[in-house]
């Protein structure tokens, strides 16, 4: 069936469908979801197991190894990595890329069962383990609640109120807080007072607990009414706690007379947060699965506007990150790029094909885009950087089919043929070659569409939009395009019956092609030399993973020496904050101390709780200022915090990489691993352009070890448990009960007065209560001395093996050249049997992303080859076509070198797509040769005539693609992809017009004949 004949016979039907397409496309555009970047599923869960009082080594051997062993039995597990530290185990479980978002809930349930099964085997005092499968939740709206002259407790009350209200907003999934300080009641007393009164600490603890415990008091039948009995006596205020009587019936004392009762916050805090220097509470709002970020953001904004009148004076809800606003700005900027690209393509077509043909093809292009919007809505594809970038990338290819059809009809009409006949014949000759070429172009991008893993998921909409739009472009090229040509394409009478290829440009090309075919071997030598030079030049192009984002934020990551108190970390962060706030262009600064923030971006790299860690999130006026600001901040950090491990960096697009260069050693013995890590660290430090050298085990920390004497303790009637409890009470405090205040449970903590717990010198004053003897025993009676020893605070595992990772960043430039500069020396280290070295960081992440492409792309190439074989029923012709693909390396190398860009992951995707474009161009050219040969043209004349007739469609298709991608050159995300395609297509197009005919002549042994010139 001929689609053009159908369209011409059903003109009214096609006209109505076109109008519906326009209306449907506009409606679809309005209803499409909007995101800044595409989402990808974080297939990682975190298993947290507390083991209070245990050393990192004990946590590793008694907790982490058991959890890892239980999880390893799951067939869905891709990788397990863990950190064992004092009193707690963190085990990360990453699932295989083959499992999708819908399958993960069932996998997490199985993970919970596996972890639950081992709880009985954990040592006393350990657990229970918690499985956090919400590790990847994104809080796209992130606020900082501040208040002058308000306590953190009052801020928390307001935050709870806002949470209840905002949960009513459309598409809000959940709301979490960050920086909440746990209120506590401190009861401080001196052991000497208790000893004088004959009161044991346990008596105080027991009295506090029993006085405020919630217990059933029964019910009674009263005149048919079954009434509940609820006695009074529970604590209603701190005063009631102070009035509590301690002691026996014969001698009782008021608690407030022997202890000081104060309200405060848990010390030390787990984390601390400031916004522009003021203490605050973070409020994160996440979107429901499948919800609309814009809708949620607008709903939250409206609700907050309603609540403004009820907000306490002096309190402010400051915006740290508002995804809907960022998304709107990003999508609007990309839509402008899309509009600019469309205008560029249409203007180019009008200049080189005439205003009628240019306008006609431009209308077809707009219809294709509108149809693509409809398809995206049906397929659930949002408007975001990758999907909109795919549309811009596809623009040149979307007009390819329409150009071939329009140009063919124009040539036939110019020769005097009727428009209807020309339309039917052109479509009949080209519909299948164009469809095959379209499938070839689609298959070129299929590798990323079907690649498993985060990167494949991140870039999947690129393939989906390309496939959808290219198929629509072919459909419209063989239906609406011939109809519009019949209706609107007019040929001036002055051009009728003229040779359409008689102009000077066609004659020059014909002569050049004849010379190249006549001196074919010389031409091959020249092309081969150019290829060799390009390959040499390509070797000097560095590789990279994903580029930096255009977000108006940057991070300052800060690690003090491991074991630093969080208050000291917060003090240093305040100094950095003060310096950064004075810099021009800085808008807002949010400071996080103690752990990473809520995941407000999908690419955010969360850091587990660590009192020596802190981070500044800096918002600027313009992202173009960030490079300069980062340099200034890094210089300040290096000069003022030489004992810390700080660095500032931009937000990255795609999956996060904390340190760009990493060498990971695995093996059983800690000393050997640390020796290898030290050697690698020294090599890194000696390598030029290196900074931020460290290991993920950090530094050793000092531990105070009172030497408990079992014999002395037994004589004194003191157990090791009593000994440990006394030490904890002396310096940290002991939870003695709970105080209920509304819906909040406030811990009651007993401890000595501040003057007795501030210094390690107070260790000598520790009094241990002996339950056996019912009196306080000085610590010196149960210890032989006090030592200070060193231990590793963090013990890392990778797939059940101990692993130390040596990390660094480049001081400037890219990570790949830095890794290569040190690789030979590090790989030359003498590894004992049982030890291994692997490169991690950006190198590992990039390889993980490329590996699926390497497995899938050969299948795509095979599919393309089969399609071309099917089109021409030949093997030699496909070989001619596929040999043109390497020609693109010349343009790719030149483009990247000129623009000083790396060959990153997006450039790889660009090369895959470029191969499809070149094959498509070659198919269009050779198909015309086949048509002329079937019409009994002499072979050499068929080659010359076909090349000349296809010169304009090929150049126009490439030209529209190249110029249409100009807006992407200025986008960091797509710059390498755009330059790869533009450079490769520019050079390869002109070479294709020479090399394809040349190879065809060589493969089919066609001699040049001057008479056909």
Residues 6+ apart with CB under 8 A from 563: 612, 699, 701, 702, 793
Q: What is the mean pLDDT of residues 527-556?
A: 85
pTM: 0.83
Give the least confident one: 700-714, 786-800, 954-968, 992-1006: 954-968
Q: Is 27 exposed, middle or buried (0-12, 13-18, 19+ CB in 10 A)?
A: middle
Q: What is the mean pLDDT of residues 133-139?
A: 81
Reported as type and span, the H/E element at residue 949 is: helix 939-964
Rounded to 10 deg, the angle between the 400-414 and 480-488 helix axes is 40
DSSP for 313-367 reads TTEEEEEEEEHHHHHHHHHHHHHHHHHHHHHHHHHHHHHHH-HHHHHHHHHHHHH
Between CA 752 and CA 188 the distance in angstroms is 5
Is the preceding omega at residue 596 within 30 degrees of 0, hence cis? Answer: no
pLDDT score, position 767: 84
Q: In terms of Cα–Cα distance, which of 270, 72, 299 is closest to 172? A: 299
Q: What is the mean pLDDT of residues 137-141?
A: 87
Is the separation of the CB atoms in 425 and 453 below 8 Å? no
Residues 6+ apart with CB under 8 A from 996: 880, 881, 884, 922, 925, 926, 947
CA 178 to chain centre: 21
* Mean pLDDT computed over every residue of the chain: 87
CA angle at residue 720 from 718 to 724, to 5 degrees? 105
Q: How large is the greatest C-alpha to C-alpha distance in the chain, in angstroms?
A: 130
Mind listing the pLDDT tens digit for each residue in 99-117?
Answer: 888 889 999 999 999 999 9
Residue whose token pair is 């506590």: 184
Q: At 740, is the secondary structure helix, strand, or coil?
A: strand
Rounded to a whole number, what is the distance in angstroms from the first to the last CA of the chain?
Answer: 37
Is the separation of the CB atoms in 791 and 57 below 8 Å? yes
Q: At 423, is the secondary structure helix, strand, or coil?
A: helix
Residue whose token pair is 């203490």: 279
Mind listing the pLDDT tens digit for each residue in 975-1004?
Answer: 898 899 899 888 888 878 899 899 999 998
Between CA 78 and CA 91 the distance in angstroms is 13
pLDDT score, position 248: 65
Strands 278-279 and 225-228: unpaired
CB atoms within 10 A of CB 5: 15
pLDDT score, position 491: 61
Q: In terms of Cα–Cα distance, which of 939, 958, 916, 945 is closest to 462? A: 916
Q: In terms of Cα–Cα distance, which of 30, 304, 26, 202 is closest to 771? A: 202
Q: At 622, is the secondary structure helix, strand, or coil?
A: coil
pLDDT score, position 156: 93
Q: What is the mean pLDDT of residues 482-503?
A: 69
Q: Buried b / exposed e across 135-149, counting CB within 10 Å, b at 16+?
A: ebbbbbbbbbbbbee
Between CA 325 and CA 294 the distance in angstroms is 8
Strands 278-279 and 219-222: unpaired
Q: Which residue has the higher pLDDT, 38 or 808?
A: 808
Question: What share of the chain in percent tops pLDDT 90?
Answer: 37
Give the least confident one: 252-266, 385-399, 460-474: 385-399
Mind listing the pLDDT tens digit for each residue in 876-894?
Answer: 999 988 888 888 889 999 9
The tokens for 10 are: 């059903």
Q: Which residue has the higher pLDDT, 17 or 414?
A: 17
Q: What is the mean pLDDT of residues 640-656?
A: 85
Rounded to 10 deg, the angle between the 480-488 and 355-379 helix axes is 150
Between CA 207 and CA 423 the distance in angstroms is 97
**Position 492 pLDDT exceeds 60:** no
Domains and CATH numbers, the chain: 1-31+354-500 (1.20.1640.10), 43-135 (3.30.70.1430), 200-218+229-257+701-791 (3.30.2090.10), 502-540+874-1012 (1.20.1640.10)
Between CA 979 and CA 969 the distance in angstroms is 7
Mind listing the pLDDT tens digit for each residue in 154-188?
Answer: 999 999 999 999 999 998 989 999 999 999 999 98
DSSP for 180-196 reads PPPEEEEEE--HHHHHH
Beta partners for residue 740, in sequence order? 745
The full length of the chain comes to 1013
Question: Dihedral of CA 507/508/512/518: which sign?
Answer: positive
Q: What is the mean pLDDT of residues 596-620?
A: 91
Q: In terms of Cα–Cα distance, which of 806, 803, 801, 795 is closest to 89? A: 795
Q: What is the mean pLDDT of residues 747-762?
A: 82
The tokens for 967 are: 């807006």
Reported as type and span, the H/E element at residue 916 is: helix 905-934
Q: Please report which confidence band the pLDDT of residue 494 belongs to, taking 50, 70 and 90 as the band edges.
A: very low
Q: In terms of Cα–Cα distance, which of 296, 335, 325 is closest to 552? A: 325
**Position 500 pLDDT exceeds 70:** no
**Position 296 pLDDT exceeds 60:** yes
pLDDT score, position 838: 94
**Position 830 pLDDT exceeds 80:** yes
Between CA 928 and CA 867 the distance in angstroms is 17
Give the least confident one: 228-237, 263-272, 301-310, 526-535: 228-237
Between CA 446 and CA 94 the distance in angstroms is 26
**Position 853 pLDDT exceeds 70:** yes
Q: Buried b / exposed e across 567-602, counting CB within 10 Å, b at 16+?
A: eebbebbeebbeebeebeebebbbbbbbbbbbbbbb
Between CA 249 and CA 232 the distance in angstroms is 21
**3-state per-residue secondary structure call for 249-296:** CCCEEEHHHHCEEEEEECCCCCCEEEECCEECEEEEEEECCCCCHHHH
Is the separation of the CB atoms in 913 and 393 below 8 Å? yes
Q: Please report which confidence band the pLDDT of residue 1009 belongs to, taking 50, 70 and 90 as the band edges.
A: confident
Between CA 979 and CA 971 the distance in angstroms is 11
**Position 120 pLDDT exceeds 70:** yes
pLDDT score, position 935: 86
Rounded to 10 deg, the angle between the 323-353 and 385-398 helix axes is 10
């Amino acid at each position: 069936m001929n689609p053009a004949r159908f369209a011409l016979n059903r003109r009214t039907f096609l006209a109505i469908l076109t109008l519906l397409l326009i209306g449907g496309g506009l409606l679809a555009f309005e209803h499409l979801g909007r995101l800044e970047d595409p989402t990808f599923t974080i297939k990682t869960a975190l298993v947290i197991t507390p083991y209070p009082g245990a050393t990192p080594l004990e946590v590793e051997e008694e907790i982490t190894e058991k959890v890892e062993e239980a999880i390893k039995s799951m067939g869905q597990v891709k990788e397990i990595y863990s950190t064992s530290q004092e009193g707690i185990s963190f085990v990360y479980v990453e699932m295989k890329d083959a499992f999708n978002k819908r399958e993960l809930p069932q996998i997490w349930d199985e993970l919970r069962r596996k972890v639950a099964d081992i709880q009985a085997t954990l040592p006393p005092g350990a657990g229970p383990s918690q499985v956090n499968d919400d590790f990847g939740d994104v809080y796209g709206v992130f606020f900082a609640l501040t208040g002058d002259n308000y306590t953190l407790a009052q801020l928390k009350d307001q935050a709870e109120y806002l949470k209840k209200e905002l949960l009513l907003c459309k598409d809000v999934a959940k709301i979490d807080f960050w920086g909440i300080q746990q209120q506590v009641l401190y009861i401080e007393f001196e052991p000497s007072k208790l000893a004088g009164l004959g009161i044991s600490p346990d008596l105080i603890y027991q009295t506090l607990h029993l006085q405020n415990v919630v217990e059933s008091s029964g019910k009674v039948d009263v005149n048919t009414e079954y009434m509940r009995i609820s006695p009074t006596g529970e604590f209603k205020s701190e005063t009631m706690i102070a009035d509590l009587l301690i002691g026996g019936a014969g001698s009782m004392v008021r608690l407030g007379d022997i202890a000081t009762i104060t309200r405060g916050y848990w010390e030390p805090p787990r984390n601390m947060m400031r916004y522009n220097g003021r203490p605050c509470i973070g409020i994160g709002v996440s979107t429901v699965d499948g919800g609309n970020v814009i809708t949620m953001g607008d709903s939250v904004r409206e609700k907050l506007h309603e609540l403004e009148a009820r907000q306490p004076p002096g309190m402010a809800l400051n915006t740290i990150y508002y995804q809907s606003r960022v998304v709107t700005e990003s999508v609007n900027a990309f839509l402008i790029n899309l509009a600019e690209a469309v205008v560029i393509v249409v203007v180019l077509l009008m200049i080189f094909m005439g205003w009628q043909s240019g306008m006609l093809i431009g209308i077809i292009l707009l219809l294709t885009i509108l149809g693509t919007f409809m398809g995206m809505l049906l397929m659930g594809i949002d408007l975001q950087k990758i999907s909109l970038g795919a549309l811009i990338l596809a623009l040149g290819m979307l007009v390819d089919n329409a150009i071939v059809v329009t140009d063919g009809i124009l040539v036939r009409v110019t020769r005097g043929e009727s428009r209807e006949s020309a339309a039917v014949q052109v479509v009949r000759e080209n519909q299948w070659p164009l469809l095959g070429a379209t499938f070839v172009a689609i298959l070129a991008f299929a590798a990323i569409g079907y690649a498993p893993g985060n990167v494949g998921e991140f870039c999947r909409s690129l393939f989906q939009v390309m496939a959808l739009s290219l198929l629509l472009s072919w459909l419209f090229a063989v239906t609406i395009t011939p109809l519009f040509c019949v209706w609107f394409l007019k040929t001036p009478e002055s051009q009728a019956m003229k040779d359409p290829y008689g102009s000077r440009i066609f004659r020059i090309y014909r002569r050049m092609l004849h010379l190249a075919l006549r001196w074919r071997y010389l031409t091959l030598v020249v092309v081969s030399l150019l290829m060799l030079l390009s390959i040499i030049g390509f070797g000097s192009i560095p590789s990279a993973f994903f580029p930096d984002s255009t977000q108006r934020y940057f991070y300052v990551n800060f690690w003090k020496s491991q074991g630093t108190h969080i208050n000291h970390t917060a003090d240093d962060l305040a100094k950095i904050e003060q310096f950064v706030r004075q810099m021009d262009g800085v808008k807002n600064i949010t400071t996080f101390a103690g752990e990473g923030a809520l995941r407000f971006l999908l690419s955010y790299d969360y850091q587990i709780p660590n009192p020596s860690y802190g981070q500044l999130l800096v918002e600027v006026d313009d992202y173009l200022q960030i490079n300069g600001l980062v340099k200034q901040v890094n210089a300040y950090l290096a000069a003022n915090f030489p004992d810390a491990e700080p660095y500032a960096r931009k937000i990255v697009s795609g999956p996060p990489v904390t340190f760009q260069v990493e060498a990971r050693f695995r093996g059983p013995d800690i000393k050997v691993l640390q020796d290898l890590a030290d050697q690698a660290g020294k090599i890194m430090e000696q390598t030029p352009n290196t900074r931020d050298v460290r290991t993920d085990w950090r530094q050793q920390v000092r531990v105070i070890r009172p030497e408990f004497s079992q014999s002395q303790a037994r004589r004194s009637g003191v157990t090791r448990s009593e000994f440990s409890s006394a030490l904890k009470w002396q310096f940290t405090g002991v939870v003695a009960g709970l105080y209920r205040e509304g819906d909040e449970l406030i811990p009651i903590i007993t401890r000595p007065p501040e003057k007795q717990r501030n210094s390690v010198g107070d260790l000598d004053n520790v009094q241990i209560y002996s339950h056996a003897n019912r009196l306080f025993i000085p610590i010196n009676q149960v210890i032989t001395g006090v030592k200070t020893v060193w231990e590793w605070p963090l013990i890392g595992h990778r797939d059940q093996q101990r692993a130390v990772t040596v990390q660094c960043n480049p001081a400037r430039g890219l990570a790949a050249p830095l890794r290569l500069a040190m690789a030979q020396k590090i790989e030359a280290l003498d590894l004992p049997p049982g030890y291994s070295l692997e490169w991690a960081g950006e190198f590992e992440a990039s390889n993980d992303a490329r590996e699926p492409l390497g497995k899938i792309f050969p299948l795509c190439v095979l599919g393309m080859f089969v399609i071309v074989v099917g089109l021409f029923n030949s093997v030699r012709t496909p070989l001619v076509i596929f040999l043109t693909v390497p020609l693109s390396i010349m343009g790719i190398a030149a483009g990247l070198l000129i623009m000083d860009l790396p060959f990153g992951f997006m450039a790889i995707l660009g090369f895959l797509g470029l191969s499809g474009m070149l094959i498509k161009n070659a198919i269009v050219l050779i198909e015309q040769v086949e048509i002329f040969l079937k019409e009994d043209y002499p072979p050499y004349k068929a080659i010359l005539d076909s090349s000349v007739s296809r010169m304009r469609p090929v150049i126009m298709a490439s030209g529209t693609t190249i110029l249409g991608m100009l807006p992407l050159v200025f986008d960091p995300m797509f710059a390498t992809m755009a330059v790869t395609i533009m450079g490769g297509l520019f050079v390869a197009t002109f070479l294709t017009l020479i090399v394809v005919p040349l190879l065809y002549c060589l493969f089919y042994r066609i001699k040049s004949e001057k008479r056909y010139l």
